[in-house]
Amino acid sequence: AHEGILRRQSARESAARTYARALPIVPVRARGLTIEGADGRRYLDCLSGAGTLALGHNHPVVLEAIRKVLDSGAPLHVLDLATPVKDAFTTELFRTLPEEFARRARIQFCGPAGTDAVEAALKLARTATGRDGLLAFTGAYHGMTAGALEASGGARDVRVTRLPYPQDYRCPFGTGGPHGAELSARWTESLLDDSKSGVPRPAAMILEPVQGEGGVIPAPDDWMRRMRAVTAARDIPLIVDEVQTGVGRTGAFWAVEHSGVTPDIMVLSKAIGGSLPLAVIVYRDDLDVWGPGAHAGTFRGNQLAMAAGTATLAHVRENGLAERAAQLGARMLAQLRALAAEQPCIGDVRGRGLMIGVELVDPAAAVLTAPGPPPAAPELAAAVQRACLRRGLIIELGGRDASVIRLLPPLNLTDEQASAVLDRLADAITTTAR
């Protein structure tokens, strides 16, 4: 069955298929960190549905919440009508939000995906301000629909002003440290304040507190506060995209808690649906300017996703899993840094909580290029990904050159599982780089 399924799918499916191409497995069962393939092989899954599975696969509290709805005879689809399931989800979500933000917040249910919520956020900011432009960052990823693409790095929409996202490792001036953040902040201020820059006052700034797809780049807390101050002083709504960083992933329930920044609009998806599709924006009440029907969509009230999401949010909150992610993540980062000290092909190890990135480089090519870090090593990264799979470990790649190994394990990972993940990864890197 395994080979047949892979063969038929690759013959029929779009050339754009991604995960299925890099990870030729046929999952048939899963529990916690483990996925079992149709060929009977078992894998430790550090992709976690691209960061969706805060509690891992098929967690009992999530399954129970879904079953409860199914067994209750409640309707599975009623558009965005008020239901007890929706009420419970909204209440639990607001309980987790930073207090100052939650006090004045409204929620808009969006389509099923993160990209739908990004669209809603951009549209709301444009409606509320009557302006059109957008400040977005290099290396950003916000989704694959038109507006979200426009906000993502690499797009060329004329309405978007692209600003440098702070980076230590590949700071354009090679100075590293907080310099990248300071540079980015000053650049932003001068662009907005210099009448000759040609940048009109935008409808919003959109940023990720940690860039995920961009290669796991955590923004310094000081920089976050500077961006908040810069936008607040100029009456520009700040949209914080927590699609990937939310629900404990970075070691705080929401990544904005690290810097204490209060966004104007938060974009939430992935883990809030407890492994099922769900996306919302939460925003300051005075931005709630749109009239009835101004933002609609058939699939905005997925009852099963809201039930699974409520169970997940509550479980993460009640069991202190954000703190757990902070502690375990710090330990894993330290171990990976020790590995990097012995492995010249590891250029950088970075992350926050259980959102971890390992950038692979080609040290031998460094002398041929400009000063600064060695060039990225995408082929090595792809080979390491394959070597991991052979060792029963699923990892994802990211970054502009797809040269950053990304780990997004469930937050309830045990110490033993974390060690097994790092052992397999270290073995894959060491053997492949030789």
Residue ranges that bind ligand PMP, judged by CB under 6 A? 50, 113-115, 118, 141-143, 208, 212-213, 241, 243-244, 269
Beta-carbon contacts of 297 under 8 Å, excluding residues fewer than 6 positions away, are 110, 111, 116
With vertex at residue 341, the alpha carbon angle to CA 335 and CA 347, rounded to the nearest 5 degrees, is 100
By C-beta, is 43 or 141 nearer to ligand PMP? 141
Least CB distance from residue 219 to ligand PMP, whole Å?
A: 12
Of residues 135 and 428, the one with the C-beta less far from ligand PMP: 135
List strand residue ranges (DSSP E) for 188-232, in order: 204-207, 210-211, 217-218
Comparison of 92 and 213: residue with beta carbon closer to ligand PMP: 213
> Which is closer to ligand PMP, CB of 242 or CB of 362?
242
Min dist CB 25 to ligand PMP, Å, is 20
CB 267 within 8 A of CB 121: yes
Residues in Cβ contact with 118 at an 8 Å cutoff, skipping those fewer than 6 apart: 142, 143, 145, 147, 148, 151, 206, 241, 243, 267
Name the residue nearer to ligand PMP (CB basis): 212 or 353. Answer: 212
Q: Would you say 164 or 363 has its CB closer to ligand PMP? A: 164
Tell me how far, at minimum, the Cβ of 89 lies from ligand PMP, in Å.
18
CB nearer to ligand PMP: give 113 or 205: 113
In the bound complex, what is the minimum distance in angstroms from residue 141's beta carbon to ligand PMP? 5
- Residue reference for tokens 């805060």: 54
CB of 400 to ligand PMP, least distance (A): 15
Name 407's bridge partners: 356
* Total residues belonging to the chain: 434
The C-alpha angle 140, 410, 332, rounded to 5 degrees, equals 80
Q: How many CB atoms lie within 10 A of CB 8?
A: 10
Q: Could you tell me the smallest distance in angstroms from the CB atom of residue 329 to ligand PMP?
A: 18
Q: CB of 29: closest distance to ligand PMP in angstroms?
A: 24
- Sequential DSSP letters for 325-339: HHHHHHHHHHHHHHH
Q: Kindly provide the b/e burial profile for residues 379-416, where b requires at least 16 CB atoms within 10 angstroms of the residue's own CB.
A: ebbbbbbebbbebbbbbbbbbbbbbbbbbbbbbbbeee
Least CB distance from residue 146 to ligand PMP, whole Å?
12
DSSP structural state of residue 1: -
Phi and psi, residue 402, nearest 5°: 50, 40
CB of 140 to ligand PMP, least distance (A): 8
Please, which residue, 251 or 375, has the CB nearer to ligand PMP? 251
Fill in the DSSP letter of residue 411: T
Handedness of CA 95, 74, 243, 202 (dihedral sign): negative
E-assigned strand segments in 42-104: 42-45
14 or 195: CB nearest ligand PMP: 14
